[in-house]
């Protein structure tokens, strides 16, 4: 049985001007000890999906369809009080921006101990000792002293470690990391990814990694879902996705990655156009206006995820990328993205 099972999740934002179709029916399973990547451009619905699963959408957001099953419980149907018991204890989350996610007027030690006292019913002294231990575990030097510091006294990488410490303090079964390496230099990025991989291995937790960085996905994820306009357009084991990208959007993402082995004269190939307006829900493939392989069928009928190149590799496309075109990027995509 999957640790987490999401089925046909749909999220809408109801504003005065329009209804935003943010997530349009995504489904996936997460097993214990598995690392799952969700990748795509900004605004495609990655972060909204994770917020919806935890019941922390903004006031205008609503789950209009679908299930999020954690064990034998559907999180969509739980009351907020019940969800608060699960958030932080069973499912931890590392939010995008640690500077805005951490409370600037509270010491970091107080923010970590709050989680421990709330969910594990620890006393003040016991929670403080555990906070020092977990901060030390995520690589905060002199943790026993730094628990008394404020967020602004930490660097970006250290603040990210504090966020991870808060998320894992109660040893959750699932960790959701939303853009955990954004705005960090490559050395700190590598340290954060090594930390996450170590936590998955030691604790056996399931990890959902949300990112727009294909290099991050290549370095840590076992399976990857490519998301566009609120839908999964391709899903496969990560190595297979990089070796044989079959959706034109996935191919476009890979071609947009700088390569160390490319000549100075070789230019990146950007994806033309812009993502669709999610306030308008049209029939047809949402990527069709930007797709070089689009046909009348693409513009008129919405494709569903179907198996291609084996049951583990699925693509939502009426005209998958031809083998000859795949071969032009397959030899170097994984190496270039993981460098």
Tokens 């951490």 correspond to 102
Distance CA 155, CA 135 (A): 14
Specify whether the CB–CB gap between 144 and 132 falls below 8 A.
yes
What is the pLDDT averaged over residues 37-57?
94
pLDDT, residue 146, reads 96
Look over the chain and give the mean of its residue pLDDT values, rounded to a whole number. Answer: 90
State which CATH number among 3.60.20.10, 1.10.3720.10, 3.50.50.60, 3.40.50.300 fits the domain covering 1-90+172-339. Answer: 3.40.50.300
Kindly report, residue by residue over 275-287, the tens digit of the pLDDT.
999 999 889 999 9
Kindly report, residue by residue over 297-332, the tens digit of the pLDDT.
999 999 999 999 788 999 999 999 987 777 666 545
pLDDT, residue 91, reads 96
Query: Which band of pLDDT confidence, cut at 50, 70 and 90, is reported for residue 235?
Result: very high
- Confidence check: pLDDT of 14 > 90: yes
Which is nearest to 248 in space by CA: 321, 162, 308, 313? Answer: 321
Kindly report, residue by residue over 161-217, the tens digit of the pLDDT.
999 999 999 999 999 999 988 777 888 888 888 989 988 988 889 999 999 888 889
Phi, psi angle pair for 34, to nearest 5°: -100, 145
pLDDT, residue 328, reads 64
pLDDT, residue 263, reads 57
Which is nearest to 65 in space by CA: 26, 99, 96? Answer: 26
- Confidence check: pLDDT of 295 > 60: yes
Query: Which band of pLDDT confidence, cut at 50, 70 and 90, is reported for residue 96?
Result: confident
* % the chain with pLDDT above 70: 94
* % the chain with pLDDT above 90: 70
First to last CA, the chain: 35
Kindly report, residue by residue over 108-131, the tens digit of the pLDDT.
999 999 999 999 999 999 999 999
| C-beta atoms surrounding 163 within 10 Å | 27
Query: Which band of pLDDT confidence, cut at 50, 70 and 90, is reported for residue 262?
Result: low
pLDDT, residue 334, reads 45
pLDDT, residue 97, reads 79
pLDDT, residue 203, reads 87
Distance CA 7, CA 26 (A): 7
Specify whether the CB–CB gap between 203 and 171 falls below 8 A.
yes
Which is nearest to 238 in space by CA: 260, 279, 265, 207? Answer: 207
Kindly report, residue by residue over 23-32, the tens digit of the pLDDT.
999 999 999 9
Strand order in the sheet with 174-178: 91-94, 174-178, 206-211, 35-39, 223-228, 231-237, 314-315, 306-307
Q: What is the pTM of this model?
A: 0.91
Which is nearest to 285 in space by CA: 237, 215, 335, 228? Answer: 228
- Confidence check: pLDDT of 339 > 50: no
What is the pLDDT averaged over residues 122-148?
95
Distance CA 230, CA 128 (A): 41
R_g (Cα) of the chain, nearest Å: 21
Q: What is the 3-state secondary structure (H, E, C) of the chain?
A: CCCEEEEEEEEEEECCCCEEEEEEEEEEEECCCCEEEEECCCCCCHHHHHHHHCCCCCCCEEEEEEEEEECCEEHHHCCHHHHHHHECCCEEEECCCHHHHCCCCCCHHHHHHHHHHHHHCCCHHHHHHHHHHHHHHCCCCCHHHHCCCCHHHCCHHHHHHHHHHHHHCCCCCEEEEECCCCCCCHHHHHHHHHHHHHHHHHHCCEEEEEECCHHHHHHHCCEEEEEECCEEEEEEEHHHHHHCCCCHHHHHHHHCCCCCCCCCCCCCCCCCCCCCCCCCCCCCCCCHHHCCCCCHHHHHCCCCCEECCCCCCEECCCCCCCHHHHHHHHCCHHHHHHC
Which is nearest to 279 in space by CA: 5, 3, 4, 13? Answer: 13
Residue boundaries of the structural domains of the chain: 1-90+172-339
């Amino acid at each position: 049985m999957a640790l987490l099972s999401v089925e046909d999740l749909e999220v809408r934002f109801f504003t005065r001007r329009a209804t935003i179709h943010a997530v349009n029916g995504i489904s996936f399973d997460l097993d214990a000890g598995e690392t799952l990547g969700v990748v795509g451009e900004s605004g495609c619905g990655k972060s909204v999906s994770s917020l919806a699963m935890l019941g922390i959408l903004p006031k205008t957001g609503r789950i209009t369809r679908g299930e999020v099953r954690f064990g034998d419980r559907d999180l969509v149907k739980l009351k907020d009080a019940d969800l608060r018991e699960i958030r932080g204890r069973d499912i931890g989350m590392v939010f995008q921006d640690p500077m805005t996610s951490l409370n600037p007027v509270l010491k970091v030690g107080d923010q970590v101990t709050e989680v421990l006292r709330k969910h594990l019913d620890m006393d003040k002294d016991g929670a403080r000792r555990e906070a020092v231990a977990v901060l030390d575990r995520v690589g905060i030097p002199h943790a026993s002293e730094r628990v008394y510091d404020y967020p602004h006294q930490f660097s970006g990488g250290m603040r990210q470690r504090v966020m991870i410490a808060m998320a894992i303090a109660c040893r959750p079964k699932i960790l959701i990391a939303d853009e955990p390496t954004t705005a960090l230099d490559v050395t700190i990025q590598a340290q954060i990814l090594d930390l996450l991989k170590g936590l998955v291995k030691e604790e056996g937790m399931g990890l959902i990694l949300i990112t727009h960085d294909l290099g991050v996905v290549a370095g840590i994820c076992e399976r990857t879902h490519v998301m566009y306009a609120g839908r999964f357009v391709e899903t496969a084991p990560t190595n297979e996705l990089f070796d044989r990208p079959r959706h034109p959007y996935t191919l476009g993402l890979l071609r947009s990655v700088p390569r160390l082995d490319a000549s100075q004269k070789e230019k990146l190939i950007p994806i033309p156009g812009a993502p669709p307006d999610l306030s308008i829900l049209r029939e047809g493939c949402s990527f069709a206006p930007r797709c070089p392989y689009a046909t009348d069928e693409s513009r008129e009928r919405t494709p569903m995820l179907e198996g291609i190149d084996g049951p583990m590799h699925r693509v939502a496309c009426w005209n998958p990328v031809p083998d000859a075109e795949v071969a032009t990027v397959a030899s170097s995509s994984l190496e270039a993205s993981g460098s």
